[in-house]
Amino acid sequence: MRLTVLGRSPASPNPGEACAGYLVEAGGSRVLVDIGPGVVAQLVRRHHPDELDAVVISHMHADHMLDLVTLRYVYPWRARPKDQRLRIVTPPGSADQLLELARGVGSARHFEDCFHLTEHDGSSSFAAGAVSLTPVRTQHYIPCWGFRISADGRRLAYTADTAPCGGLEDLADGPDLLLSEATLRSLDEDAQPPEPRGHLLPSEAGTAARDGKAGALVLTHLPVNGHGEWAREAAADEFGGEVAIAEPSATYEV
Ligand SMILES: [Zn+2]
Ligand SMILES: [Zn+2]
């Protein structure tokens, strides 16, 4: 299984970088997980979207889904035959938000004439070609699901956006590679009590990877501009294993 980082930025983009977007390839299948601003420009350097088995969206924050608007423009402006439409898997209950977004950019049919829109159910595994994805609910400011992703006997886990929580522990439990957000430079940047937290420090990603015995840890969703070494060291101090910072356009073997 191969993971290619199309974008790693948090909501405020790092200069010259796309927001969240991760290409997963295994067993002849190809899945794009998250499609934040700037991701489509990176995707089409490599693949036409018809070469994807599905686009899967973790949650409805702009930095994880807004380039779905852009993806529509890769296709001609007419309804596509239903059996040729790219499958888009969004969180449960997101259909109304997509419809509002479609209206906001000029046409209620912006997505539905072109894509096969589906929702996962929040817990059941689903297949995208040879790749199996299992959604795992995380603790974030809005409903969010990370994914356990498996194919070819290999396991990747993606935390999406999360605070320390049971879902994170579940995701970090034994994958060959844990792709974890590490958005915070300090706890001051997270929600303050009594509001529940929504993101991780790099050290907390390291702790989760250590406790779950993940094979390797890749940190992403970082507010960095080529200076992520502090975050890598903070995570490695806890994890004790191999830690990398997700680099734009880099590919990681899982
Ligand atoms: Zn985010
Ligand atoms: Zn978010």
pLDDT digits (tens, 9 = 90+) for 101-113: 999 999 999 999 9
Summarised one tens digit per residue, pLDDT across range 27-62 is 999 999 999 999 999 999 999 999 999 999 999 999
pLDDT of residue 196: 97
Q: Looking at residues 164-172, what average pLDDT do you find?
A: 98
Q: Residue 69 phi/psi, 5° resolution?
A: -60, -50
Q: What does the mean pLDDT of the chain come to?
A: 97
pTM exceeds 0.95: yes
Summarised one tens digit per residue, pLDDT across range 14-29 is 999 999 999 999 999 9
Distance 106 CA to ligand 1 centre (A): 25
Closest ligand to residue 183's CA: 1
- 3-state class (DSSP) for residue 248: coil
Summarised one tens digit per residue, pLDDT across range 53-104 is 999 999 999 999 999 999 999 999 999 999 999 999 999 999 999 999 999 9
pLDDT band at 227 (very low <50, low <70, confident <90, very high): confident
Q: Looking at residues 226-250, what average pLDDT do you find?
A: 93
Say how far residue 69 (Cα) sits from the centre of its chain.
Answer: 17
What strands, in cross-sheet order, belong to the sheet with 217-220? 126-128, 131-138, 144-151, 154-158, 177-181, 217-220, 243-245
State how far the Cα of 202 lies from the Cα of 200, in Å rounded to an integer.
6
Nearest to residue 115, comparing CAs of 94, 146, 89? Answer: 89
Closest ligand to residue 7's CA: 1
pLDDT of residue 228: 85
pLDDT of residue 224: 82
Q: Using a pLDDT cut of 90, give the percent of the chain over it.
A: 97
Name residues with Cβ closer than 5 Å to ligand 1, which is an ion.
63, 161
pLDDT band at 188 (very low <50, low <70, confident <90, very high): very high
Name the one residue in this structure whose structure tokens are 């997980």: 33
- List of residues 6+ apart from 133 with CB closer than 8 A: 31, 56, 89, 120, 125, 126, 127, 147, 148, 149
Closest ligand to residue 181's CA: 1
Closest ligand to residue 59's CA: 2
- 88 and 64 Cβ atoms separated by less than 8 Å: no
pLDDT of residue 226: 67
pLDDT of residue 246: 96
